[in-house]
């Protein structure tokens, strides 16, 4: 079961990264820095925060605390980027760090204890923690992107009005085991 967990979790992380990739691709540069109000985060700020979190958590993942001394979390929430190139560089760098650490994991690692801010977690708990954290922020990115694009938004899943057709196609097939991210609509 545990090896299935790693495979399933990786597909989930890849899916949420893909949602972010597709949203970032849709948006013009200037929209990445838009904030609804002073208390809101721009997409660039959210990416900056994810980058900081990913580098801190996943660098030397099994051997050092996930909250690195060099991390400046407060600075992650300053909306001080000015280019899409920088936003994308941090986006891809953060995910690369995460997937490098994730891909090094083996089934027996899931019960090892790691620390985040000196609080012990099994590797499985740490993965679950991030599997909730990263989609939370990717959802914010998608939501902001959808508001910005409005009628120019391109659906990232089942487009409005297509649910019945989509379900009819799914139920026309015999029951089978398949991860939902294997669906061509999702890719």
Q: What is the distance, to the nearest Å, from the Cα of residue 28 to the centroid of all Cα atoms in its chain?
A: 20
DSSP 8-state secondary structure symbol assigned to residue 116: E
DSSP 8-state secondary structure symbol assigned to residue 41: P
CA distance 135 to 92: 16
CA distance 48 to 25: 17
**Contact between 24 and 148 (Cβ < 8 Å):** no
Cβ neighbours of residue 14 closer than 8 Å, sequence gap 6 or more: 181
Q: Which is nearest to 53 in space by CA: 130, 135, 143, 140?
A: 130
Instruction: Report the DSSP beta bridge partners of residue 113.
Output: 122
Predicted confidence pLDDT, tens digits, the chain (187 residues): 455 899 999 999 999 999 999 999 999 999 999 999 999 999 999 999 999 999 999 999 999 999 999 999 999 999 898 899 999 999 999 999 999 999 999 999 999 999 999 999 999 999 999 999 999 999 999 999 999 999 999 988 888 888 898 888 889 989 888 877 777 666 5
Encoded tokens for 55: 């580098």
CA distance 17 to 51: 12
Name the class of domain 2-153.
mainly alpha
3-state SS class at 175: coil
Phi-psi region of 161 (alpha: psi -120 to 50; beta: other; left: phi over 0): left
**pLDDT of amino acid 157:** 86
**pLDDT of amino acid 1:** 45
**pLDDT of amino acid 149:** 93
Sorted by where each begins, the domain ranges of the chain are: 2-153
**pLDDT of amino acid 81:** 84
């Amino acid at each position: 079961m545990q090896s299935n967990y790693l495979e399933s979790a990786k597909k989930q992380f890849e899916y949420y990264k893909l949602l972010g990739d597709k949203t970032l691709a849709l948006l013009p540069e200037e929209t990445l820095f838009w904030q609804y109000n002073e208390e809101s985060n721009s997409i660039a700020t959210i990416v900056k925060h994810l980058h900081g979190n990913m580098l801190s958590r996943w660098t030397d993942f099994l051997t050092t605390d996930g909250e690195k001394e060099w991390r400046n979390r407060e600075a992650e929430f300053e909306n001080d980027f000015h280019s899409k190139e920088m936003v994308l560089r941090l986006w891809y760098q953060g995910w690369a760090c995460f997937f490098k650490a994730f891909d090094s994991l083996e089934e027996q690692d899931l019960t090892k204890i790691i620390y985040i801010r000196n609080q012990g977690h099994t590797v499985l708990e740490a993965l679950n923690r991030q599997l909730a954290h990263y989609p939370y922020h990717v959802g914010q990115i998608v939501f902001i992107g959808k508001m910005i694009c409005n009628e120019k938004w391109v659906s990232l899943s089942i487009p409005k009005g297509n649910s019945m057709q989509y379900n009819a196609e799914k139920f026309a097939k015999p029951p089978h085991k398949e991860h939902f991210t294997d669906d061509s609509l999702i890719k």
